[in-house]
Amino acid sequence: MTETPALKPGRTEVWITGIGLATSLGEGLDANWAALSEKRINVDEKGFAPYIVHPLMPVSFDSQIPKKGDQRQMEAWQRIGTYAAGLALDSAGIKGNKDILSKIDMVVAAGGGERDINVDSGILTAEAKGANAPGFLNERLMSDLRPTLFLAQLSNLLAGNIAIVHGLGGTSRTFMGEEVAGADAARIALARIASGESDIALVGGSHNGERKDLLVLYEFGDFNLKDKFAPVWARKGHPGFALGSAGAFLVLESKAHAEARGAKPFAKLSSVVADLAKRKQPGDMSATLEKLWAKLPKREGKGAIITGATGAEPATSEERDFLKNHADFPVRSTGTVFGHALETQFPLGIALAALSISRGALFPPNDSTGTEIEMQGAPTQIVVVGAGHWRGEGMALVEAV
């Protein structure tokens, strides 16, 4: 099992010193926190009916991506991410700080492949109407594809756009692979800082859930939530996930680096672990989650769990079995509130864990099944769980400093 070993004496403590959120609830920490506290959920049941999505609360991209030319070179998922990354840098107080930005290490979890659905349907329609010359597809693609669309399709161009717009000049790595890519991005960034390979990193992802091409991909596996919204835990007879638009970025920093510049932590990121359950037999996935749980440093404080459970089956039932073994931990589902944002869900979970710790309260439950219970007092340890709808399991421990 690959893991970030628990902190040992001499290992560097890693702090979360910046958080950037742009979601279906709004932009920034206050707007998201207020919506969570008021149990607000933003779903669109009509625009993609019968499918349900959590649309991005409109933001003024200009404030983080001032050049229109830059905005035009991106598709929505990259604009959301570049925007959220800027908010995280602002939150950490390093926006425009050339000394730090020239060395910051970026680990981004990304999908990609945003299609021009008009081009696709135009070609399919023409072919259905008899266009069958051997070069038809080539000719249409040559004339219809925008050259810049390719750059919006490349997974690593989210990181590329962040570097260009915010002037980042350190290193840049993009991890793919759906949900667990978000956990692996945090895992590698943490390991690099904890071992002294890196001082400071920007970690996160972004997702545009308002895409019919993505709905098609998940519809292949009947994973989309249809017709009626329900909290993740109440979808058993009506399983599926509602795609969500979200960008979530974190600034991770060694304690020494943060202290030297007087930065205050939201929380510390103590451990991130991940694995790939075989998921061949019932119980495989919950057993893997249990193994990951055992690998986290000891939990002696006031704990809670924030999970990215999707609502898709059988993964969500497997996770529920795992959670039953830890029923004394209050649980919150980001999938209920924000929808499913794939690669972004895990960084979003870490962000909300750090925010809850820094605000001295876990946000209230939003669930009709009793899976989520009230929590009194301030959490000091929050476990973030991220199990993929199909493959991959990740877990993190976020703690009060």
Amino acid identity at 189: A
Q: Which is nearer to other proteins, 36 or 162 (CB)?
A: 162
Task: Map residues 227-266 to x or -, x wherever contact with other proteins holds by CB under 8 A.
Answer: ----------------------------------------
| Residue 100 contacts other proteins per CB under 8 A | no
Q: How far is residue 97's CA from residue 41's CA, in Å, rounded to a whole number? A: 36
Task: Map residues 59-78 to x or -, x wherever contact with other proteins holds by CB under 8 A.
Answer: --------------x-----
Q: With contact defined as beta carbons under 8 Å apart, do 63 and 27 qualify?
A: no
Give min distance, CB of 389 to other proteins, in A: 9
Give min distance, CB of 274 to other proteins, in A: 3
Coil, strand or helix: which one is 303?
A: strand
Stretch that binds other proteins, among 80-88, 141-149, 228-236, 300-308 (CB under 8 A): 141-149
| Residue 188 contacts other proteins per CB under 8 A | yes
CA 63-356-235 angle, 5° bins: 95
- CB under 8 Å to 21, separation ≥6 — which residues? 27, 28, 29, 32, 84, 87, 246, 247, 248, 348, 351
Task: Map residues 337-376 to x or -, x wherever contact with other proteins holds by CB under 8 A.
Answer: ----------------------------------------
Question: Quick one: DSSP state of residue 57?
Answer: P
Binding residues for other proteins, how many (CB under 8 A)?
89
Return the biggest CA–CA distance within the chain: 70
Q: With contact defined as beta carbons under 8 Å apart, do 73 and 148 qualify?
A: yes
Count, residues in the chain: 401
- CA torsion 59→62→65→71, rounded to 10°? 90
Give min distance, CB of 279 to other proteins, in A: 10
Closest CA to 344 of 54, 47, 31: 54
In the window 263-282, what residues touch other proteins (CB under 8 A)? 274-276, 278
Q: Which is nearer to other proteins, 174 or 356 (CB)?
A: 174
In the window 157-186, what residues touch other proteins (CB under 8 A)? 157, 159-161, 163-164, 167-178, 180-181, 183-184
Among residues 95, 97, 113, 234, the one that binds other proteins under rule CB under 8 A: 113
Give min distance, CB of 344 to other proteins, in A: 13
